[in-house]
Amino acid sequence: MIMRNDVVIAISNSGETAEVLTILPLIKRMGVPLVAMTGKPGSTLAKAGDAHLDVSVAQEACPLNLAPTASTTATLAMGDALAVALLEARGFTPEDFAFSHPGGALGRRLLLTVGSLMQKGERLPRVKATDALTTALLQMTDKGLGLAVIVDDTNNVQGVFTDGDLRRVLDSGIDVRSARVGEVMTAGGKRIVADALAAEAVQKMEAGKITALLVCDAAGSLQGIIHLQDLLRAGVV
């Protein structure tokens, strides 16, 4: 079915395919724009098109140079190029793509936000800098996220203590039972905002070779933690 607001892309390697040429008068009578994609610039279809895209090849991959093989590949490539050009002209975004494919893996990567997947509330292993290191270790064990977050009285992040920090403490000979977590923490910590895409969290984790990110607001207040396992369960990874 061809409507007046359509654009027709007619594909024929020879440009003389009878089934295609049969509908040319109708297309012209309706005033529908015609893009001809052929391997013969001098063919009937090529001359009839408002625009002609040359997809000719020097030789088919077929050893007899008869079966359309290389020419079909050239046509597919041109079709992809047209799609990409249209995508750019329309300003099509990854979010637009995700809304068209919400159920697939790409949709999950492009629609899910960190805030919708992060651990929060009582699930967060929070301690103060003055707390004993053993308290932080108990929080790490209880929450199972592989780290403890050191916050001040206003919930602003001061640092983190991770499994890697624990190994460094043990190697240094520091007395685990008497140390304060603020003395051995890693200041700052890798962070992300809640409205960032979950796919961005994956990229940050891969770049930093870590398995968790702190989710903080602009002021540095702890809102949650996004862990690699959260992303795996959601099918983002």
Residue 53 has a pLDDT of 96
Query: Which of 221, 182, 226, 195 minimizes the C-alpha distance to 208?
Result: 226
Indicate whether 198 pLDDT > 80: yes
pLDDT at 104: 61
Report yes or no: 28 and 48 within 8 Å, Cβ to Cβ: yes
Query: Confidence class of residue 234 from pLDDT cuts 50, 70 and 90?
Result: confident
Q: What is the pLDDT of residues 121-144, one digit of tens each?
A: 999 999 999 999 999 999 999 999
**For residue 107, what pLDDT is reported?**
63
Which sign, positive or negative, has the C-alpha torsion 14, 19, 20, 21? positive
How much is the pLDDT for 38? Answer: 96
Greater model confidence, 102 or 8: 8
Domains of the chain and CATH, by start: 8-92 (3.40.50.10490), 114-233 (3.10.580.10)
Cα separation, 16 vs 86, in Å, equals 27
State the maximum Cα–Cα separation within the chain, in Å, rounded to a whole number: 90
Q: Stretch 23-39: mean pLDDT, rounded?
A: 94
DSSP three-state, residue 12: strand
Rounded CA-CA distance 18/15 in Å is: 9
According to the model, what pLDDT value does residue 101 have?
61
At a CB cut-off of 8 Å and minimum separation 6, what does 178 contact?
132
pLDDT in tens, 56-102: 999 999 898 888 899 999 999 999 999 999 999 999 887 677 666 65
pTM above 0.95, yes or no: no
